[in-house]
Amino acid sequence: MNQLAPGAPAPRQAAPTADEKARPARRRVLASFGALPAGAVLATAGAAHAAPAGRGKGKGHGKGKGDFRLGIENLLEPEILETLRGARVGLITNPTGTDRELRSTIDLLVAAQEGGGFTMTALFGPEHGVRGAEPAGGSVGDYLDEKTGLPVRSLYGATQKPTPEMLADVDVLVFDIQDIGTRFYTYIWTLYYAMEAAGENGKRFVVLDRPNPLGTDIEGFVLEPELSSFVGLREIPQTHGLTVGELARLFNGEFLDGAVTLEVIEMSGFDPEDPAAADLPWVLPSPNIPTPDTAVVYAGTGLIESLNISEGRGTTTPFLWFGAPFIGEAQIDAIITDLQSAGLPGVLYRPMFATPISSKHAGAFCGGLQLHVTDASAYEPVRTGVHVLAALLRNVDEVDWREGEDCRTEEDVCWIDKLSGTKRTRAMLEAGDSPESIVAAWGEEAQRFSATTRRYRLY
């Protein structure tokens, strides 16, 4: 199905606004990772900037990787660890919960119990589980952790929110998971539900802060409340530009009425505009985010999930490659021509053929193309993702929304609506509107949200 008018003009790159010209380089944090392997209360748009005022390269707390420390490392300092004395502690984590030497937060806290005078009583597993072995969408069960003997309570199975029974032997919930800055990445909603449960049950909540790989940039529509789901519970944009600790502060201040006794153990030596500040080895936050480049593109190419096109699951390049059996050489060339004409920064394209071993089109030989990120600091994931969807819809007749006939009317709720947070994206693409008109449509919302975030930023 070709949902863009065949004669529609090729997308053009919009001229940069004064704000875009003035703002600092984007996603500097992610670049340094790569070196090693609406209902929300919004501020007025008039004072909005794409990055917090008074910030930029050289204006952060640290001068290099020798000064940088993660939240978990600062928690283990005796004077901070003392705040857990006498508490029964539950830890929400996964394989990304490590220090800079890749020592597990689970192991570090278990070892620190005696000296810190606290007791570890439970582990809580998000999507993919505490040890990260479950596939996307796979239900995670309760069990005893083989290494520590601690009970593991699932937050991605029968319930996504801790129940009073699950918290009965917990005084303090500690959260240590690496987010990748994207609204439809579910770990932040595990954070939200856990915070909500902590407020309702009188539990302290501690977030061990980590960098946002996408830095401080904000892209995409703010979620419309009627489209709330576990890939977007509350009214934030598609990329939120906050560390997980800053996001927790925003959740508490904007959506939870300050009901949570929240403590964020900050990073030290951290400047989101300083590439050396997050000089960390890459730990897969989930099975299909295997590399830093995957984390760069996911916020945009994750939208391909909404089509009958493989987003690369079941290949060695998930979210960097996309394709389908009905895409041939001519269509690939046309898609690349469209993307090249858009002048999108920080990315190159090449034809690539693959046979996914799982997920969509498993076992079928597929034509498609791979994105190659050449400059993570300049790359704009959501803008690029919208251009990719438009190019597919324009150039391949068989491309359709993944629901097919069940995604035809304004009343239908389709996966593209949930991922983009609005039905406007689908409507504009189907009408043949240019990708840049979609980008322009979310601009004011993103600016208002950016202004709101200032009171919650820590760095």
Whether residues 411 and 365 fall in one domain: yes
Q: CA-to-CA distance for 305 and 170, rounded, in angstroms? A: 38
170 located within any domain: yes
Q: Which of 50-64, 169-183, 319-333, 380-394 has the lowest mean pLDDT?
A: 50-64
Whether residues 296 and 390 fall in one domain: yes
Per the CB < 8 A criterion, the answer to whether 209 and 264 are in contact is: yes
Query: pLDDT value at position 274?
Result: 55
> Each residue of 361-392: pLDDT tens digit?
999 999 999 999 999 989 999 999 999 999 99
Q: CA-to-CA distance for 412 and 422, rounded, in angstroms? A: 12
Query: pLDDT value at position 269?
Result: 87
Averaged pLDDT, 189-199: 98
Residue 248, exposed/middle/buried by CB under 10 A (0-12, 13-18, 19+)? buried
**CB neighbours of residue 341 within 10 Å:** 15
Query: pLDDT value at position 272?
Result: 82
Whether residues 177 and 117 fall in one domain: yes
Q: How many domains does the chain have?
A: 2
Per the CB < 8 A criterion, the answer to whether 62 and 248 are in contact is: no
Nearest CA to 13 out of 434, 298, 331, 443 is that of 434
Whether residues 140 and 227 fall in one domain: yes
25 located within any domain: no
Whether residues 148 and 110 fall in one domain: yes
Per the CB < 8 A criterion, the answer to whether 246 and 40 are in contact is: no
Whether residues 117 and 152 fall in one domain: yes
Read off the pTM.
0.86
At 394, list the tokens: 């324009």
Residue 57: pLDDT over 70: no
Whether residues 265 and 319 fall in one domain: no
Whether residues 372 and 248 fall in one domain: no
Whether residues 338 and 219 fall in one domain: no
Residue 394: pLDDT over 50: yes
Per the CB < 8 A criterion, the answer to whether 34 and 379 are in contact is: no
Q: CA-to-CA distance for 282 and 287, rounded, in angstroms? A: 13
Contacts of 121 (CB under 8 A, 6+ apart): 88, 89, 90, 150, 151, 169, 170
Contacts of 411 (CB under 8 A, 6+ apart): none
Per the CB < 8 A criterion, the answer to whether 65 and 267 are in contact is: no
274 located within any domain: yes
Q: Give CB contacts under 8 A, 24+ apart, made by 401-405.
A: 401/306, 401/307, 401/308, 401/426, 402/305, 402/306, 402/307, 402/308, 404/308
Could you give the residue ranges of the DSSP H alpha helices within 26-124?
28-35, 71-75, 78-81, 105-116
34 located within any domain: no
Residue 45: pLDDT over 80: no
Whether residues 298 and 412 fall in one domain: yes
At 344, list the tokens: 């999108």
> Each residue of 308-345: pLDDT tens digit?
999 999 999 999 999 999 999 999 999 999 999 999 99
Q: CA-to-CA distance for 414 and 236, rounded, in angstroms? A: 19
Per the CB < 8 A criterion, the answer to whether 394 and 338 are in contact is: yes
Residue 60: pLDDT over 50: no
Residue 446: pLDDT over 60: yes
Residue 5: pLDDT over 80: no
Whether residues 186 and 329 fall in one domain: no
Query: pLDDT value at position 62?
Result: 36
Residue 429: pLDDT over 60: yes
Residue 137: pLDDT over 80: no
Q: Which residue has the tokens 């300092």?
A: 77
13 located within any domain: no
> Each residue of 7-35: pLDDT tens digit?
333 333 334 443 433 333 333 333 333 33
CATH number at residue 380: 3.90.1150.140
**CB neighbours of residue 267 within 10 Å:** 27
Q: CA-to-CA distance for 372 and 121, rounded, in angstroms? A: 44
Query: pLDDT value at position 277?
Result: 54
> Each residue of 219-240: pLDDT tens digit?
999 999 999 999 999 999 999 9
164 located within any domain: yes
66 confidence band (pLDDT: 50, 70, 90): low
Output 274 or 162, whichever has higher pLDDT: 162
Contacts of 132 (CB under 8 A, 6+ apart): 94, 95, 284, 286, 287
Residue 39: pLDDT over 50: no
* Average pLDDT of the residues of the chain: 87
Phi–psi pair at 371, nearest 5 degrees: -90, 135
131 located within any domain: yes
Averaged pLDDT, 151-164: 96
Torsion over CA: 112, 116, 119, 120 (sign):
negative
168 located within any domain: yes
> Each residue of 241-286: pLDDT tens digit?
999 999 999 999 999 999 999 999 999 988 787 533 567 899 999 9
Per the CB < 8 A criterion, the answer to whether 458 and 216 are in contact is: no
Whether residues 138 and 81 fall in one domain: yes
Q: How far is CA 459 from its chain centroid?
A: 19
Residue 70: pLDDT over 50: yes
**Residue 8 gets which letter from DSSP?**
P
At 407, list the tokens: 């995604």
- 362: domain range? 288-441
CATH number at residue 150: 3.40.50.12170
